[in-house]
C-alpha cells in the first residue's frame, strides 16, 4: 500500500478514527527536503503496510489541521495512535533512520 493523501476534510476519518497507527507527513510542493524523503516514505509504507498507514498532508492545500497541531517547520512527521499524536520527527533523514524511528514508536 502506498502513501495516502489526507486533507482537512478527511483527516478525522482517515487519521483520528483509524484502526491502526497513522504517520502523517506534513509537507509542501516547494519544500526540497520533503521531496527528498517522499520515495523513502513510499517504500516504508509498502514494507510496514500491515502495521501503519503513512499519510501525506500538503500544508498549502490544507491549513486547519497543520495549524491545530502547531506545524511550523516541514517536513514534520507525526505518528497518531488511537486518535492522539504520540511521536514526531522533524526534518529529512535517510530511509533507514526514518524506518528505525517509526518502528521504535509503533
Q: Which residues are catalytic?
A: 31, 34
Find out whether 56 and 34 touch, Cβ atoms under 8 Å. Answer: no
State the burial class of residue 34 (Cβ atoms within 10 Å of its Cβ: 0-12, 13-18, 19+): buried
32-47 and 95-105 are packed helices; what angle lies between their axes, rounded to 10 degrees? Answer: 60
Asked if residue 52 lies in contact with residue 83, where contact means CB atoms within 8 angstroms, the answer is no
Amino acid at each position: 500500500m502506498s502513501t495516502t493523501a489526507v486533507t482537512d476534510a478527511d483527516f478525522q476519518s482517515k487519521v483520528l478514527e483509524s484502526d491502526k497507527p497513522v504517520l502523517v507527513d506534513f509537507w509542501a510542493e516547494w519544500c526540497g527536503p520533503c521531496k527528498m524523503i517522499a520515495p523513502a516514505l513510499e517504500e516504508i509504507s509498502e514494507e510496514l503496510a500491515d502495521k501503519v498507514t503513512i499519510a501525506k498532508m500538503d500544508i498549502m492545500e490544507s491549513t486547519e489541521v497543520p495549524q491545530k497541531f502547531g506545524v511550523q517547520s516541514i517536513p514534520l512527521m507525526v505518528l497518531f495512535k488511537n486518535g492522539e499524536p504520540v511521536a514526531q520527527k522533524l526534518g529529512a533523514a535517510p530511509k533507514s533512520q526514518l524506518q528505525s524511528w517509526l518502528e521504535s514508536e509503533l
